[in-house]
Structure 1
């Protein structure tokens, strides 16, 4: 949801209702930072553990602030009321780097404003359900998803051993004439879940660099693409999973879901098969690069091969 513009949010409830769709899941025991550019445009959202040392938060945040030209911050804590003082310390420290324009704590089904000497209604707590906001309803209509927890989101890239074995066996029975990448993606675009033989063909064809480049050029931020590459990441054997998982990470990043992108990249790293495509996505995620800053498809005259060079 990186395209969201904070100037369009009309209330604290709207702002807080947006957060799960920015980071991809409903946070707990967390500090969420929304980084804003001039005009209160959302640059990105970052989630850290509530008990993370302030020094570590500042060290990790400072280069991102500079790269993203951040002019203001929104800081939201998720945890017990007893975390109020800890969160205020974090906020006061961050406020010395960039102005913190809004600060809240969500605890026990209420949100609290943490502005010093604030007398607004939220100073004493306002009952709040992030799933019942107008922002949540609009996001759902747009096909955006906020998973129940970070663990549920990360599990989307976990391998399915039974499915992997079925695809492995199908790879041993592939016909001489296999469907190509374009044909397989066209089927997925029509809402067809690839069967074992089709998934086996996808695993094999993506070993070809031209096919990989075609798949990359054809993948943006569409839900059917996310579904396809996540399904492939779960079902394709580890020996062949690096490229589909890299495409899953790419699509997740294009959709503004850095947590899911990083999970897909870690799936690749666990196999020891990190290639240049995955390395490029790693760099984009680590730098919190705004997907809007990279035009896609690429302009005429620039190809994926120009970016990848030789691998």
Structure 2
């Protein structure tokens, strides 16, 4: 099951179903399909989340738990549910089960809609008088979308489109692969490699530039040393997360598979710090391609699954420490 939490988009005030339908792609970073989206309000640290819409009735309980558990943990007061589906039955089945569980947990469901991408339909008895064939809408020119563009937020056409934004670029990978042949990581200490990494990363993220093939080859070679990767993770900060996302996205797209895990971990954490959970999951997918048991990826996956906000950054222990097995099991972030 795929679950994503929202990025730090501008603040919007939704006053109509059309406003809600316009804001979802902006906060997620892509236009969802076959999905259950939950927008939360009233908690100490509100979040918004998406899961795949289950078509098998046996999977409904898992989806309900995936959304209700973090809402309860973060003491959310109110939610809006938007279900993306061309079929009424699976959407209504999930909406009913989810609304019951939320309300039993003391969380009010303010609104609940289904959309097929062109028309919206009320669920749970909201919006009386809406015709059975739904209400046609078009949010392509909505002011929320325009405001997001002004703020520099890119909204992708789909999750697949978002995933392609971090996919390998074969020609550029080949260029770095050739440069790797000339990289010597056997000489010098890991501290030398860490200092080299810090200088390169801080220079390029500060200037908004990209590494040359030779620089990138040396960087990804150095990141294969555990201590260097941990220091690179420690360099990440919420205040500069968007710059870090831009830099590490470029690195991930150009890195050969044998050296991919470290850069993809760094992109995933940078995306989480930027509040872009969907991009973080896409980056984690790239990690799993080459290292299914990566400890850093496991740590971030737990944070994302529990909707842990980036505000806890700095209090986390790296994977493999004595506290890792229990400190992140149920973090108190409310």
TM-score of the pair, normalised by structure 1 = 0.82
- 1:183 and 1:102 mapped to 2: Cα distance? 50
1:218 is aligned to 235
The answer to whether structure 1 residue 67 and structure 2 residue 73 are counterparts is yes
1:88 is aligned to 92
Higher relative contact order (CA 8 A, sep 6+): 2
2:268 is aligned to 249
- 2:237 and 2:26 mapped to 1: Cα distance? 18
Structure 2 alignment gaps of length 5 or more: 1-5, 103-107, 323-334
The answer to whether structure 1 residue 49 and structure 2 residue 53 are counterparts is yes
The answer to whether structure 1 residue 207 and structure 2 residue 213 are counterparts is no
- 2:23 and 2:12 mapped to 1: Cα distance? 13
The answer to whether structure 1 residue 102 and structure 2 residue 111 are counterparts is yes
2:161 to 145, 148, 152: 152
RMSD: 3.1
2:30 is aligned to 25
1:77 to 65, 83, 92: 83
Aligned positions, number = 300
TM-score of the pair, normalised by structure 2 = 0.77
SS in structure 1 at match of 2:228: helix
SS in structure 2 at match of 1:131: coil
- 1:140 and 1:28 mapped to 2: Cα distance? 22
Structure 1 alignment gaps of length 5 or more: none
Per-residue CA shift, 1:63-106, capped at 9, x if unaligned? 323322233332112233xx234323322221211132111122
- Within 5 Å, which residues of 2 pair with 1:99-248? 99-107=108-116, 109-116=118-125, 118-119=127-128, 125-174=134-183, 180-185=196-201, 186-221=203-238, 222-248=241-267
SS in structure 2 at match of 1:86: helix
- 1:117 and 1:100 mapped to 2: Cα distance? 10
